[in-house]
Amino acid sequence: MPSKKSTKKKPDPKGLGDKIEQFTEATGIKAAVKAVFGEDCGCDERRKTLNRLFPALTKFDDNQKARYEEYVLPYRDQEFGEVPSRNAKAMGNLYFEMTGKNENVTGCGSCLKTVKKALDKIYLFCDEEDSTK
């Protein structure tokens, strides 16, 4: 009797590294590389590095979008000056939810630059998706 193929769903790709791994597995490239270079061919480290440098964009759900608009949007273009601690904490929490990265968030506008920039990209990605429907 033929064996059933596993229907276990792989997790969504976290970034470019995961996408490349999916491609190399599907085409047989990964197996060929491992056959030539062995199990420790450096693929896992490259995958992790590419995921970190080029993360997959995820979309806000309705709750996250509302929190972005309430806590981040009013301070989006602010580079310097204080951001209320409530807003800074909300920005940090939202950033962690969307990226899995935990930033040490303070109320300093310039310190929040990375967090705000990443959240802006996600927000704009959501707007582009909504306008194409």
pLDDT score for 128: 58
pLDDT score for 28: 92
pLDDT score for 70: 94
For the chain, the helix, strand and coil percentages under 3-state DSSP, each to the nearest 5: 60, 5, 35
Asked if 71 and 91 touch (Cβ cutoff 8 Å), the reply is yes
Name residues of the chain where pLDDT drops below 50: 131
Which sequence spans correspond to the domains of the chain?
16-53, 62-131
Q: Residue 33, SS3?
A: helix
pLDDT score for 15: 83
pLDDT score for 53: 80
Cβ neighbourhood burial of 62 (10 Å; 0-12, 13-18, 19+)? exposed
pLDDT score for 7: 58
pLDDT score for 97: 87
pLDDT score for 26: 92
pLDDT score for 8: 62
Q: CA 102, 108, 109 angle in degrees (round to 5)?
A: 95
